[in-house]
A and B are shown apart, each in its own frame.
Chain A
Amino acid sequence: MNAIFALGLAILVIGVLSVAFVRPKTYVARLINLEIPAWGLLLIMLTYDEALAILTFVAVTAISTFVIVRLLSWRDASC
């Protein structure tokens, strides 16, 4: 098995477990833990040679983080 693939799988598993069992049960900690499996999935996608897919994935991850941050602040303001 490729080393990059194994490392990506390990980081993906660690990230998924950390999102599921988040220790300080706040939205910010869960949002930061949600970034970890994104980087693990990027390492797995690096094994298959598709440059444009990786670029799109990185951009969409950042944009979805921005959307979730706006959603959290809007929810704090409303209720």
Chain B
Amino acid sequence: MLDEILHIMAAAIISWILFVTVDIFFKLPETGGVSGASAIARDIEAGGGALSGGTMMGNIVCSPDASAGTLLAACGVYVAGITGGLAAAVMVYVGNRICHDPGYAGTTGAVLATFVIYAFTLAGFAATDFIAGMVIAILTIQGLSHVHASRLLARLWRVRQ
């Protein structure tokens, strides 16, 4: 019982670091991919947040990114092992093409997350821990407080520049 809760917390921290790193490496906070992402960024900035962090949150909303790749890769590893993870990467690429996005970040994140999650499965974690952990990680970015989350992302983006 307590062991599983600790596993979920550790999985949340691992997947948070994974998808934020991949998203910032592919320059998501730089510009809005579609016009809706810029509108969401403008509304978040009007509510007191930072613009570049808001742009990254708008990009996560408007097309499947590395966060979606991590979640679907965890689902694929849970259902069918490492084959399911690669199938999930193909589905993320198709979804990216539907939403008018180049699709590099989502596919790279899904393939990377497949191998990371499979390695942690060998080390004693269950794949369900990573599904719940990824949902907790996306809650801390998009769901708790837009102002603080966008300022944190803007500070990380400044470090990468």
Query: Do A and B touch, yes or no (CB under 8 Å, in the complex)?
Result: no
